Amino acid sequence: MANPYTRAPPLGSGSSKALGDKDPFYGWLPRRINAEQVQKAMAGDVNPFTKQPHSAQYKKILETRKKLPVFAQMSEFLRMFSDNQIIVMVGETGSGKTTQIPQFVCYSDLPHTKGKLIACTQPRRVAAMSVAKRVADEMDMPLGKQVGYSIRFEDMTEPGTTFLKYMTDGMLLREAMNDPDLTRYSTIILDEAHERTLATDILMGLLKALARRRADLKIIVMSATLDALKFQKYFSVSKGGEPAPLFKVPGRTHPVEVFYTQDPEPDYVEAAIRTVLMIHRAEEPGDILLFLTGEEEIEDACKKIKLEADDLLNQDPDSVGPLVCIPLYSSLPPQQQQRIFDPAPTPRMPDGPPGRKIVISTNIAETSLTIDGIVYVVDPGFSKQRVYNPRIRVDSLLVSPISKASAQQRAGRAGRTRPGKCFRLYTERDFMKELEEQTHPEILRSNLANTVLELVKLGIKDLVKFDYVDAPAPETLMRALELLNYLAALDDDGNLTPLGAIMADFPLDPQMAKMLIVSPEFNCSNEILTIVAMLSVPNVWLRPPNQRKEADAAKAMLTVPDGDHLTLMNVYNNYQQNSHDRGWAWNNYLSQRALQQADNVRSQLQRNMERFEIDLVTTADPKRLHMNVRQALVCGFFMQVGHKEGEKGQYFTVKDNQVVNLHPSCGLDNQPEWVIFNEFVLTTKPYIRTVTDVRPEWLLEYAPNYFDLSSFPDGTETKRALQRIANKRSRKNAPPESSSNGKGDRPSKRAKKAY
């Protein structure tokens, strides 16, 4: 056979007639391609990848592509790509990097000639989908053929045809778990690396090691300017040697003038409202984007601004135009989110002062959503950030100052369509001296139980020595290892157990994966599957401010008094029985969107169960079914137990002895002595949320290692209570329920032993 590189094989719909002997790739040598070759191929009449004639549309799009800053540097890029295994690339907003660089790579790498793919990862699903669509158009191909995307629940690729795949970072990480060498890929592009999502961080560590094993793999890390040097050093080719080369492309945005306050503002919401109204009165036409921290703050500010703006309009209708306030946060239904794209209101009278639109948004407008036409940004300098405290194992959301990088990103939102202004509600000194350079990457702010299990499954032996871009706190790793060991996912030496290997394959927190896998032993895997799905989606309960009573009453109708987990199950079952009816969900103050998602997650998990031959079983007798479900819950959540002390209903977490309260949303009709909880949240008080009544015997029985009383701090009421139960049990000298194994409905003997 001739050199395979002299002639690209015809692809998919390619017809040899159209091709003739004019294959635009004829004689091309992969990874040794220059810009002249590519330009010529792009300008040709025949699409070199499909061998079809180019459409008129294609030529049009090509002209606009040529105006992108990155296009002018194609030659430089191709040279750098030829000469290096790893490149760090910086491309500011509007450079065209996300759409163009992967295409340049296609022309140079010619992945289709070797049956490989180019991957380009994105932190968000919508981005992966929309960019893939755009690039498919640019390359004159139907989406899902040569160019596709892959996100959870949706694989828009065609095996054997697709050679450029946009995907979420989490998706590529999943693939790595089953193929640590990522052999299908010839080039991997990590886009938006500066966002430092957990998945991107882990991928960077994996790819750095993989680059040594696979000399044929090329890697491109794309980021914002501030982080480039850090990545260059991290990906230095030789140990302590040269940093990875940098490819830099200017952006194409308009200048944004930044203003600071003279003095610190004591009340940033009040200051923000004042600033917005000042802009409305005094500045040229143009829409405003105000960043606040959460739903309540946003809705509140919306009302206040509206009131004040209406006053202004009435007082001075000749110089002040109408103003419309639009809230934006993730839990808003998509339809309402769309309002941010509405045009500004029209003047009240012909020739009157023009109207203005103000969007008041959480961080969602910083990265996930771009709104065109914004000219003014008001930035109070705060956002809610997730923090994880490994000492007490609690996740919380804290309003914290943003980073410099974040502030710059926010300011940039004012310059997308024309020159803009950004009003920072803090002093220049604070910006320079007080703000951190970067937002702490997620890996430093999260519970890593899931990540650690993934890393072990990926074959990483020593988690502490893993080459992280930023290493997590050792205590966070310890907490994760400890949890996984108690769940029997890792043995005492930190090796993956067969159970752990299966757990890692479920897109779930380890606790939930564990209880799902063991649930057939309790004859309730059907129910646990539902509960796990419901726990994996956003809150299903709606509570509109003016209909709280009605919403609470509707919830009470669906509540199961034995526990919130059972209530969730009941909600899902009712949703099914009412054939996913939108009206039913609406009448019961439930989020149809969340229920639909739960349904989706449930099917995906069910497919995973089938792959591992985990039976889907249930128990006929409803009373016994509830008992069985509650026991299965213990198998996953035995480390999240609350014990009531005293009559006041004060709960203490087991072992950590933290004081916690039942969350007001809890549906229990009494205060059981022992409960398991799904989450521990720190808001106005420490709360445990999604709570179920359990029996202490179950704790001792299904989690004997964790409930080894010698490991408990002495002198606590919890320990004494458990000791009493243990004594009673040993007197009986037989497990109380498994001995009477008359009906198949009861937990089997094996369940007792294994867990």
330 sits near DNA (criterion: CB under 7 A):
yes
CB of 439 to DNA, least distance (A): 9
| Rounded Cα gap, residues 72 and 93, in angstroms | 16
| Rounded Cα gap, residues 565 and 580, in angstroms | 20
* DSSP-derived secondary structure for 334-388: HHHHGGGGSPPPPPSSTTSPPPEEEEEE-THHHHT---TTEEEEEE-SEEEEEEE
Quick one: 276 or 508, whose CB is closer to DNA?
A: 508
Only segment of 12-20, 119-127, 206-214, 580-588 that touches DNA (CB under 7 A): 119-127
Quick one: 202 or 217, whose CB is closer to DNA?
A: 202
**CA angle 312-316-321, nearest 5°?**
70
Only segment of 132-140, 246-254, 660-668, 692-700 that touches DNA (CB under 7 A): 660-668
Spatial CB neighbours of 575, under 8 Å, sequence gap ≥ 6: 584, 585, 590, 595, 599
Quick one: 109 or 169, whose CB is closer to DNA?
A: 169
Q: Which of 184, 304, 386, 655 binds DNA (CB under 7 A)?
A: 386
508 sits near DNA (criterion: CB under 7 A):
yes
Dihedral in degrees, nearest 10, Cα atoms 676, 682, 685, 686: 30
Give 389's strand partners. Answer: 394
Only segment of 78-86, 179-187, 514-522, 539-547 that touches DNA (CB under 7 A): 539-547
- Structural Rg of the chain based on CA atoms: 29
Q: Which of 162, 253, 362, 640 binds DNA (CB under 7 A)?
A: 362
Quick one: 170 or 322, whose CB is closer to DNA?
A: 170
539 sits near DNA (criterion: CB under 7 A):
yes
686 sits near DNA (criterion: CB under 7 A):
no
CB of 683 to DNA, least distance (A): 2
| Rounded Cα gap, residues 717 and 738, in angstroms | 28
Binding mask of the shown chain, residues 331 to 350, with x at each position contacting DNA by CB under 7 A: x-------------------
Quick one: 74 or 117, whose CB is closer to DNA?
A: 117
418 sits near DNA (criterion: CB under 7 A):
no
Binding mask of the shown chain, residues 232 to 271, with x at each position contacting DNA by CB under 7 A: ----------------------------------------
SS3 at position 257: strand
| Rounded Cα gap, residues 252 and 254, in angstroms | 7
Phi-psi region of 613 (alpha: psi -120 to 50; beta: other; left: phi over 0): left
| Rounded Cα gap, residues 290 and 361, in angstroms | 6
Structure tokens belonging to residue 48:
């070199």
CB of 508 to DNA, least distance (A): 6
117 sits near DNA (criterion: CB under 7 A):
no
Q: Which of 123, 520, 696, 747 binds DNA (CB under 7 A)?
A: 123
Sheet holding 287-291, edge to edge: 256-260, 420-424, 374-379, 287-291, 356-361, 323-328
H or E element at residue 209: helix 198-213
Q: DSSP strand E in 92-240: where?
A: 117-122, 147-151, 154-156, 164-168, 185-190, 218-223
685 sits near DNA (criterion: CB under 7 A):
yes
H or E element at residue 633: helix 622-637
**By the 8 A CB rule, do 231 and 74 touch?**
no
CB of 319 to DNA, least distance (A): 35
Binders of DNA in range 124-163 (CB under 7 A) = 124-126, 151-152
Binding mask of the shown chain, residues 60 to 79, with x at each position contacting DNA by CB under 7 A: --------------------
CB of 463 to DNA, least distance (A): 17
Q: Which of 82, 130, 368, 716 binds DNA (CB under 7 A)?
A: 368
Q: Which of 376, 541, 575, 589 binds DNA (CB under 7 A)?
A: 541
Quick one: 188 or 699, whose CB is closer to DNA?
A: 188
| Rounded Cα gap, residues 27 and 6, in angstroms | 4
Quick one: 30 or 642, whose CB is closer to DNA?
A: 642
CB of 182 to DNA, least distance (A): 15
Is the C-alpha dihedral spanning 107, 231, 165, 102 positive or negative? Answer: negative
CB contact burial 251-289 (16+ within 10 A = b; e otherwise): bebeebebebeeeebeebbebbbebbbebbeeeeebbbb
Q: Which of 92, 507, 656, 748 binds DNA (CB under 7 A)?
A: 507
Binding-residue total with DNA (CB under 7 A): 47
Binders of DNA in range 172-231 (CB under 7 A) = 174, 197-199
| Rounded Cα gap, residues 58 and 49, in angstroms | 14
684 sits near DNA (criterion: CB under 7 A):
yes
Q: What is the largest CA-CA distance in the chain?
A: 91
628 sits near DNA (criterion: CB under 7 A):
no
Q: Which of 430, 552, 645, 737 binds DNA (CB under 7 A)?
A: 552
CB of 546 to DNA, least distance (A): 12
476 sits near DNA (criterion: CB under 7 A):
no
Q: Which of 241, 266, 664, 715 binds DNA (CB under 7 A)?
A: 664
Structure tokens belonging to residue 146:
């040569």
Quick one: 258 or 452, whose CB is closer to DNA?
A: 452
Half-sphere exposure of 696 (CA within 13 A, CB side): 21
600 sits near DNA (criterion: CB under 7 A):
no
Quick one: 388 or 638, whose CB is closer to DNA?
A: 388
Q: Which of 142, 250, 294, 354 binds DNA (CB under 7 A)?
A: 294
Only segment of 250-258, 294-302, 304-312, 622-630 that touches DNA (CB under 7 A): 294-302
**By the 8 A CB rule, do 231 and 221 touch?**
yes
Structure tokens belonging to residue 273:
């409202």
Q: Which of 170, 251, 420, 520 binds DNA (CB under 7 A)?
A: 170
Helices 125-138 and 97-109 cross at an angle (nearest 10°) of 60
Q: Which parts of this chain interact with DNA (CB under 7 A)?
A: 123-126, 151-152, 168-171, 174, 197-199, 293-296, 329-331, 362-364, 368, 383-386, 397, 450, 507-508, 536, 539, 541, 543, 548, 552, 663-665, 681, 683-685, 687
